[in-house]
Structure formats: C-alpha cells, structure tokens
Structure 1
C-alpha cells in the first residue's frame, strides 16, 4: 500500500513538473517570437509601394508646386487597392496642396506635416490594408 501511494505521488509530481515546463516553454517561445519582429527588407518595401507621378498644382496664393510621392503600404493587397484608387489619391493630394501656402511647405516640418496628413486621408479610403508611410520623392516650389 505504501509503495502504491508513493508511486502515485511521484507520478502526480512528474506530471505537474512536465506541465509547468511545457507552459514555460510555450511562454518563452511566444515572447521570443514577438520580440524578433524585424523590419521588412527594401525589396519587401518596394513590392508594397506605389509611385505617384509628378503633380503640378496651384497652392493657396499665386505659387505653384511640382511634387511626386512614393506611398508605402502594409501589404501587396493594399498596394493593388491603392493603384486602383490612384485618381482618389491624386484628388486628395491636390486638395491638400491647394489649402497650403508656399511658406508652409518650405521647411522640413511642413513637408512632414503634409506626409502625415496625406497618410491619414488616404488611410480613410483604404479597405484592404493601410498606408504605412508617405514619402515626398521630388518637390519644386515656385
């Protein structure tokens, strides 16, 4: 009888230790998997990016701007959707630029502000994914 009880206690302890070890292993692997989230390679970025060709439009006042963009999306599906929505994207860009004065676009902060505004407005259109970043690739302010 004593051997049976001792054997049962050892078996229960062995199962408990195994379960604790398995849970600890799953937790460690899950935490390491999340922390190893790496940035996409340049090839992946280019595969999910859309070029907006040069747009020439009037600014508020008598000035005008020639500007082009590269828009980075989060997936190939988002890129495909964005390519189909090119007329809507151009419309948003022209509307945003027509509300700005040349002084607002001359400095770094003004350009970053334009990029962020365009990102937010374009994201409001998107159904398949989202815009991660808008880059100004060319700008001529006159």
Structure 2
C-alpha cells in the first residue's frame, strides 16, 4: 500500500511539473508576441522626415538681449503633431516669438552654454508653446542657428 501511495505521488508530481512547464512556455510565447507587436507599432508610428517637415514651422532668426547683457541671434524649427497643428502654430507665430523672447530675456549666456543649456531651453519652449496650442501639440523644438555676442 505504501508503494501505491509513492507511485501516485510520483505521478501527481510528474503531472504538476509538466503542467508548470507548459504554463511557463505559454507565458514566454505570450510575452514575446506582445513585445514584438508593440515594437512594430512604435516603429510604424514614427513619422518620416517628410511628415516631420510637413508639420513643422520655421521661426526666422531673432535677435534679443539676454539677462547677462549679451545678445543672442537664434532661430528655431518647431515640430508639431499634425499639419493642422502646424497651421495653428503658423498663425500663433507672434505668440511663439513673444514666448521665446521672454524666456531668453531671463537667461544668461552661461545658462545657454553646452548641450544641457540648449536642451533646457528647447524643453522649456516646448512646454510653453504647448500651453498656447488648442488644436494640436508641439512635439519638439529644434535650434537651427545660434550665436551669442
């Protein structure tokens, strides 16, 4: 009788191990499928350079004073999320320039040094420009020319 109990315990243990292996395999396959399908969507949702250009606005070179009594000549390209948002940003050009001048007048030449300074400026401008947008949003702000004197 003791052998029968050991035999049934061994069969039960074998069945449990097989079931666990099947569950783990199914879970692994599910994770791989989910990761591949979400990765493919991200690649497909990235806009092409032509789409970026179709939804971007150029801000012509501007000259303004900095808080450090230096002056800056700078121009930007503002990337929006759609052609409609680009049209809105084009109409709001005067507001965008006003925001840019306000932000630059608070900064010093030292604040704008290096990659970190420029990145901080573009992120700040992106946030500020998004606050005035109604029919879309600003995806990125790029500095296209830059001179401090």
TM-score normalized with structure 1 length: 0.76
1:69-102 CA deviation, whole Å, 9 max, x = no partner?
0000000010000000000000000000000000
| Matched residue, 2:94 | 87
Runs of 4+ in 1 over 4 A off after TM superposition: none
| Matched residue, 1:51 | 58
1:102 equivalent in alignment to 2:105: no
1:113 equivalent in alignment to 2:120: yes
| Matched residue, 1:126 | 133
| Matched residue, 1:60 | 67
Indicate the structure (1 or 2) with the bigger Cα radius of gyration. 2
CA distance in 1, matches of 2:68, 2:128: 23
SS at match of 1:139: strand
Gaps of 5+ in 1: 1-27
1:73 equivalent in alignment to 2:80: yes
CA distance in 1, matches of 2:126, 2:146: 17
Aligned length: 114
Shift of residue 32 of structure 1?
Answer: 3.2
TM-score normalized with structure 2 length: 0.72
1:7-64 CA deviation, whole Å, 9 max, x = no partner?
xxxxxxxxxxxxxxxxxxxxx8xx8377423211100000000000000000002100
Gaps of 5+ in 2: 1-32
What do you get for the CA RMSD once the two structures are aligned?
Answer: 1.7
